[in-house]
């Protein structure tokens, strides 16, 4: 399949998680020809990393992160304009709860047909669901910051255990759907 200008991102390990499946997925997909980036789990470093990616230049961006307490792969519907970390990031920061950007709306609601994506992908046996928001930690922060620059994106939370080959098939199917290939 001929790929458009697509970026896929994951996060480095953090807190008590020695392995972050989103980073491992980026290694897997990078070896398969996808353009990937592993992002720092650090409020002080992530903005400069986001800026260096030139987000406006991509046709679509897939953002991945770990939701260890979930058993589903979750398409996140809403990026909240809110930051509130219950745990410290990898730089030792734990932000005080506040708006991410006082010049922006309370949330960005992703208008993609996420429910249809779940239905259309049942044959992949990935246990997909639509979730209402990406939380208040760095996953949500990233989603909100990316949505400000390029609304052609989706945040996907992964559980602890994943079948990367099936996720690759899902991504290729979503790209074909997005670009009518």
**113 assigned to some structural domain:** yes
Q: Model pTM greater than 0.85? A: yes
Mean pLDDT of 132-144: 92
**24 assigned to some structural domain:** yes
**1 assigned to some structural domain:** no
2 confidence band (pLDDT: 50, 70, 90): low
As for how many domains the chain has, the answer is 1
Per DSSP, 115 falls in state: H
**14 assigned to some structural domain:** yes
Enclosing H/E stretch for 177: helix 164-179
Measured distance CA(171)–CA(58) in Å, rounded: 15
Structural domain boundaries, residue 115? 6-179
End-to-end CA distance of the chain: 8
- Round the average pLDDT of the chain to a whole number and report it: 94
Q: Which are the contacts of 5, defined by CB distance < 8 A and separation ≥ 6?
A: 35, 57, 58, 59
**121 assigned to some structural domain:** yes
Among the listed residues 22, 128, 145, 159, the one whose alpha carbon sits nearest the alpha carbon of residue 80: 145
Measured distance CA(130)–CA(70) in Å, rounded: 12
**96 assigned to some structural domain:** yes
1 confidence band (pLDDT: 50, 70, 90): very low
Per DSSP, 34 falls in state: -
Measured distance CA(80)–CA(95) in Å, rounded: 15
3-class state of residue 47 by DSSP: helix
**128 assigned to some structural domain:** yes
Measured distance CA(145)–CA(50) in Å, rounded: 8
Q: What pLDDT was estimated at residue 3? A: 54
CATH number for 117? 3.40.630.20
Residue pLDDT, tens place only, 59-109: 999 999 999 889 999 999 999 999 998 899 999 999 999 999 999 999 999
């Amino acid at each position: 399949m001929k790929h458009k200008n697509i970026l896929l991102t994951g996060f480095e390990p953090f807190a008590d998680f020695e392995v972050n499946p989103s980073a491992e997925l980026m290694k897997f997909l990078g070896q398969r020809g996808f353009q990937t980036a592993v992002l720092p789990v650090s409020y002080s470093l992530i903005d400069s990393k986001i800026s260096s990616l030139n987000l406006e230049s991509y046709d679509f961006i897939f953002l991945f992160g770990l939701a260890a307490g979930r058993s589903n792969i979750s398409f996140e519907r809403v990026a909240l304009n809110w930051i509130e970390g219950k745990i410290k990031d990898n730089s030792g920061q734990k932000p005080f709860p506040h708006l991410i950007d006082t010049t922006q709306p309370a949330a960005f609601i992703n208008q993609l047909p996420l429910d249809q994506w779940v239905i259309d992908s049942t044959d992949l046996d990935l246990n997909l669901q639509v979730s209402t928001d990406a939380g208040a930690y760095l996953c949500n922060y990233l989603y909100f910051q990316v949505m400000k620059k390029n609304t052609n994106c989706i945040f996907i939370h992964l559980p602890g255990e994943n079948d990367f080959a099936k996720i690759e098939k899902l991504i290729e199917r979503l790209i074909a759907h997005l670009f009518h290939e």
